[in-house]
Structure 1
């Protein structure tokens, strides 16, 4: 059935109607409580009692806010996060709690909700109940119009009447037209109620949820944790690479040179061979240290920028990579480093997992954002799932207000787009 015909019978429509009908009694209680307590607290501000009474009024509004969020979640399917909790700055006694309530923006927004929601609840209740009752009454009129001639002494619903003339809906044509009008009202009512609840959604989300500032603070705290964890993971990786690579090789080199020194007087030829082997080990250790330094921050990136650095990392990929960097100037050094390591990790994924024949890297600036796009013609199927390398990469980008978008259908091609702030 079309959505317009299904709407009167859908569970969603009845839940939204229930939300509107419940809104009136709840708003009456909430408005009465808020106005009474705030008025009492304001009147008592000439004494010390006004402050705790006002704090109690705001705390009660916050409690009603919890009820309203639960009602919106259950009947409207609206998920609204809890507002920022009360955080007394000093101590944990009644005075600290009172100060925290009065200073909390969420408390005053809950009070504003109590004031604004009452007139809107009255309006939406009257509109929704009128349309709903009128629609269903007229739609079912053919089933109950017999009540009028049998019990009311008139032919049907009276449309007009005076001392000389009366008009009743009493013949089959008029009864059918009445039912059709009721059908129109019945079909329109769910959409009218849905429009009314849209305003309720805005009120609940805007006044009973966390503020943009507090949400941003929570986001920054989370990003800070990601940055700290990422830095710790990088330090552990560097320590592991040093311990298992260059450090172990240098320890073995020191032992070999010690043995060569002992054999120098007795067997010069054997000592020369050992020194030659140690020379090779030194070269290998130096290469490992260069690779490790490149993994921390490549010198070519500092000296020549993204174009040269990405061309260098692309040359080490197992598939041919075309690099196109279109930047008139260089971004902030930190952003440049993140961009380099993002492309480097994506090219490593191409080498290990994609089975691609070719790849491309495009870098450009869009207003105040640095855009990266890495594409390959491999088997596809890449996803930002929990525990994957792409998930860790997405977290790193998110920590600096960046975005990672992966488009990788099965069978390919794979296109990974990263967006970073320019921050010059």
Structure 2
């Protein structure tokens, strides 16, 4: 049933779009939304321009007094309010989703907010000045777009619907027709009746078909104005991104410290405590029962080996020595040898990436191979690592049952967040039934280098 319904919907869509785009455009919802955007733009632009010019001029004129600065701050605050309105209007009519810019954060010298701190923050905010600039430059453009859209739309449809006017109001549109003057001998041609109607409709049809594309071109200018002047600055967006990444890094480091503490407490530490107790008992029995003491020392020796192995595994989990000494090729080969699934590795790197990136790549492959061992049911796997421009690329492939996902709540979501904290990317291609290919992309030198 699902396939039949999908086919029906697809067939309907095909029939709906069988008409060429040029003929569909005048009746599409997008065209009407953009026309409404331009019609509403002029009153908004007039109001914003009047407010910006009045408040800016008044504030500049009052700078010789203490009132000038607050008035300029009020102008900037009003411009930011206009920006919120324009982002909402662009979102609704142009389908342009522009993120809100960074908020004003007033702080006085003593760390507290206040009226003067708010005024100072507004005046120092580049985003606020960009909003004010938008209020000034948008007016001439909105006037131009309004005139062009109204003239093209009204003239085009009026000419195209000329036969309807001629039929409803014959006394107004009838008459002598269209007169075309000829040469100097006085030759003239009069067009009336069907010829005049056809020519008028043809011109109107051309304008009706051209108008939507003119509107779309002008709408692109509006999109650039809104996104360039009313959105967050690239620097601010980058700062926000780094703040989020810092939070992810801090959370990851805290989780790693908790894991190391738990492994030490539950593993090597408990084993060493038991070892100390066994050696203490062996020391007491050394004179009374040498054979029992020797047996206890032998058991303690085995515990020492196990504790050393656990400490080596723990140290390898922090940063493996083979990675530091010999690089990714040898370290990933060692990882593949410990995997329960046969894994082939191929590392094509002429030089080594930054140590931090190298470590992240190692632990990414380690976690992916652990997932293969535990969940995939695969028979074979493959690890490929190569460099593409200034990016380190790695892919882990297996022929297991598939179904892996980087969606929130999945096992790969946390790994994707860790890679994102260093401007990396994780993509999983894992259809049900397999195979699975997880591709990771990392900067070659790290985001801060």
Say which of 355, 361, 368 aligns to 1:339.
361
Structure 2 counterpart of 1:122: 143
Aligned positions, number: 422
Counterpart for residue 371 of structure 2: 349
CA-CA distance at 1:261 after TM superposition: 3.4
* Matched residue SS, 2:412: helix
Q: Does structure 1 retain, via aligned residues, the 8 Å contact 2:127–2:232?
A: yes
- Say what the alpha-carbon RMSD is for the aligned residues: 2.4
After superposition, give the CA deviation of every residue in 1:177-213 in whole Å (9 maximum; x if it has no partner).
4334323322332222122111111111110010000
The C-alpha deviation readout for 1:118-170, integer Å capped at 9, x for no partner, is 111111111111221122222222212135532466366x5779xx9998874
Matching of residues 365-404 of structure 1 within 5 Å: 365-404=387-426
Distance 2:292 2:26 in 1: 96
Q: Is the Cα–Cα contact under 8 Å of residues 346 and 374 in structure 1 kept in the other structure? A: yes
Distance in 1 (alpha carbons) for counterparts of 2:268 and 2:425: 36
Q: Does 1:187 align with 2:209?
A: yes
| 1:225-240 map, 5 Å | 225-240=247-262
* Matched position secondary structure for 1:380: coil
Match of 1:149 in 2: 170
Deviates more, 1:74-83 or 1:360-369: 360-369
Residues of 1 paired with 2:290 and 2:188: CA distance?
132
Inter-partner Cα distance in structure 1 for 2:136 and 2:130: 10
The answer to whether residue 303 in structure 2 is matched with residue 281 in structure 1 is yes
Q: 1:166 to 1:246 in 2, by over 3 A?
A: farther
In structure 1, the residue corresponding to 2:274 is in which secondary structure? helix
Match of residue 337 from structure 2: 315
Which stretches in structure 2 are left out of the alignment for 5+ residues? 1-16
Select the residue among 61, 64, 69 that pairs with 2:79.
61
Is residue 328 of structure 1 aligned with residue 350 of structure 2? yes
More off after superposition, 305-314 vs 326-335: 326-335
- Offset of residue 50 of structure 1: 1.9
Change (3 A) 1:165 1:230: farther
Which residue of the partner structure matches residue 4 of structure 2?
none
1:111 aligns with 2:132: yes
Give the TM-score normalised by structure 1.
Answer: 0.92
Does the Cα contact within 8 Å between 1:148 and 1:155 map onto a contact in 2?
no
3-state SS of the aligned residue for 1:323? strand
Identify the residue that residue 96 of structure 1 maps to in structure 2. Answer: 117
Q: 1:80 aligns with which of 91, 95, 98?
A: 98
Q: How has the CA–CA distance of structure 1 residues 335 and 25 changed in structure 2, closer, same or farther, with 3 Å as cutoff? A: same
**Whole-Å separation in 1 of the counterparts to 2:187 and 2:41:** 43
| Number of the residue aligned with 1:35 | 53
1:220-279 CA-to-partner distances (Å, cap 9, x unmatched) read 100110100000000011111112211222222233333333444444333333332222
Query: How high is the TM-score relative to the length of structure 2?
Result: 0.87
Contact 2:382-2:398 at 8 Å conserved across structures? yes
Output the CA distance in 2 between the equivalents of 1:228 and 1:78.
34
Q: Is 1:304 the equivalent of 2:326?
A: yes
